[in-house]
């Protein structure tokens, strides 16, 4: 992801760059061409897939061990009003280009030459975000004079359909994503679990708890038309919370493990919390309350790190972060291996 996803808020918070290890990747592979094992293949699925301004959508595949699959949903910010959706907005990424190429711009679990990476031999589908709808939208939406293709659900399902064909029978599937991809990884987990019924599927969200000062409605994006049959919003006017969704997801699949990683005072999440009407001091208490609720589920695990950073699974901090004596890298590796894990939490998390 090439661009800033946070703007300067009135309080003067400095710009925060999300994962922009800017580089260019030479020539992209054509949509139908085959990649050698271990190489990244860029695919443009066409059809109804689109990026926000109507441009072409693309995703990447990497063929590794056919029995192990990593599904990674990229972060990409959010577009939900005239300010956040305007052309050039720093709130979200509106295209897929060379700066999204995992071969040259990704870190963390996507740094495949790192011998410490527990996913270095996995087959991978990398699903970029370019629609500002946390991978859940199905509509073209107007915000004042701006027409935005919020087709993140359509894009993600096109990438997953190709992955299901390329990797028909993995034994281990690890579904994750950073920021907007954290929500996307949970939203699409049900479909992945149902497709790979005989695999050990684990879903872990990184750095978007999607907690706000009130329940949300994503009806404008068309998200509500794609809720699984086992989930219905319980609040007036179709509003819902991510805690409710994850609770229903975990209960629907009691033999699977679901988890989240967050920094207690995540600066990016705090600014989105404020952008939709919340007070900055309330973000951390709401995050902690959500995690307390979810940890009552027998198949849910949580990792709460100290600090205000945003995302780690696609950063070098995946290897350096340690909380309550537990290294994030080891915690994720154990989850992928089907081992039970503790729920590390920053001592100052309240």
Confidence bin at 106 (pLDDT 50/70/90): confident
Strand partners, 203: 175, 258
Number of domains in the chain: 1
pTM score:
0.91
Is 4 contained in some domain?
no
- CA-based angle 64:109:241, to the nearest 5? 115
Q: Is the pLDDT reported for residue 34 higher than 70? A: no
Is 329 contained in some domain?
no
pLDDT digits (tens, 9 = 90+) for 3-15: 444 433 333 333 2
- Work out the angle between the directed axes of helices 180-187 and 152-166 (0-180°, nearest 10): 60
Is 46 contained in some domain?
yes
- With a pLDDT cut of 90, the percent of the chain lying above it is 87
Is 320 contained in some domain?
no
Domain of residue 75 covers 40-255
Q: How far apart are CA 205 and CA 180, in angstroms?
A: 9
- CA-based angle 32:33:37, to the nearest 5? 125
User: Which is it for strands 146-150 and 139-143: parallel, antiparallel or unpaired?
Assistant: antiparallel
Q: What mean pLDDT do residues 289-306 have?
A: 98
Confidence bin at 65 (pLDDT 50/70/90): very high
Tokens representing 35 are 């990649």
Q: Can you give the CATH number for the domain in which 247 is found?
A: 3.40.50
Q: Is the pLDDT reported for residue 1 higher than 80? A: no
pLDDT digits (tens, 9 = 90+) for 144-174: 999 999 999 999 999 999 999 999 999 999 9
- Look at the block and give the residue holding tokens 């056919």: 66
- With a pLDDT cut of 70, the percent of the chain lying above it is 89
Question: Is 100 in contact with 73 (CB distance < 8 Å)?
Answer: no
Is 289 contained in some domain?
no
CA 187 to chain centre: 9
How many other CB atoms are there within 10 angstroms of residue 281's CB atom?
Answer: 8
Is 32 contained in some domain?
no
Is 324 contained in some domain?
no
pLDDT digits (tens, 9 = 90+) for 269-295: 999 999 999 999 999 999 999 999 999
Which pLDDT does position 349 carry in this prediction?
64
The DSSP secondary-structure symbol of 30 reads P
Q: How far apart are CA 214 and CA 39, in angstroms?
A: 44
Confidence bin at 33 (pLDDT 50/70/90): low
């Amino acid at each position: 992801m090439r661009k800033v996803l946070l703007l300067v808020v009135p309080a003067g918070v400095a710009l925060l760059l999300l994962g922009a290890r800017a580089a260019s990747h030479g020539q992209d592979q054509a949509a139908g061409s085959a990649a050698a094992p271990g190489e990244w293949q860029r695919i443009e699925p066409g059809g109804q897939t689109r990026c926000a301004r109507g441009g072409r959508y693309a995703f990447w595949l990497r063929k590794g061990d056919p029995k192990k699959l990593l599904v990674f949903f990229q972060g990409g910010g959010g577009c939900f009003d005239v300010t956040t959706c305007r052309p050039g907005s720093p709130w979200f990424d509106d295209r897929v280009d060379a700066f999204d190429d995992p071969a040259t711009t990704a870190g963390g679990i996507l740094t495949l030459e790192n011998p410490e990476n527990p996913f270095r031999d996995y087959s991978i589908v990398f699903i970029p975000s370019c629609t500002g709808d946390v991978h859940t939208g199905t509509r073209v939406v107007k915000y004042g004079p701006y027409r935005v293709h919020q087709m993140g659900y359509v894009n993600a399902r096109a990438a997953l359909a190709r992955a299901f064909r390329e990797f028909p029978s993995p034994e281990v599937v690890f579904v994750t994503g950073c920021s907007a991809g954290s929500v996307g990884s949970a939203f699409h987990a049900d479909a992945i679990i149902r497709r790979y019924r005989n695999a050990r599927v684990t879903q872990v969200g990184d750095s978007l708890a999607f907690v706000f000062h009130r329940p949300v409605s994503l009806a404008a994006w068309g998200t509500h038309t794609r809720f699984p049959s086992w989930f219905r919003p319980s609040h007036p006017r179709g509003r819902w919370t991510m805690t409710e969704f994850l609770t229903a997801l975990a209960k629907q699949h009691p033999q699977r493990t679901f988890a989240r990683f967050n920094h207690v005072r995540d600066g990016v999440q705090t600014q989105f919390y404020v952008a939709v009407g919340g007070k900055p001091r309330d973000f951390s208490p709401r995050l902690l309350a959500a995690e307390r609720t979810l940890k009552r589920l027998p198949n849910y695990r949580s990792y709460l790190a100290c600090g205000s950073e945003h995302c780690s699974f696609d950063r070098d901090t995946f290897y350096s972060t340690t909380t309550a004596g537990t290294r994030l890298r080891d915690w994720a590796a154990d989850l992928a291996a089907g081992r039970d894990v503790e729920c590390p939490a920053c001592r100052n998390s309240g």
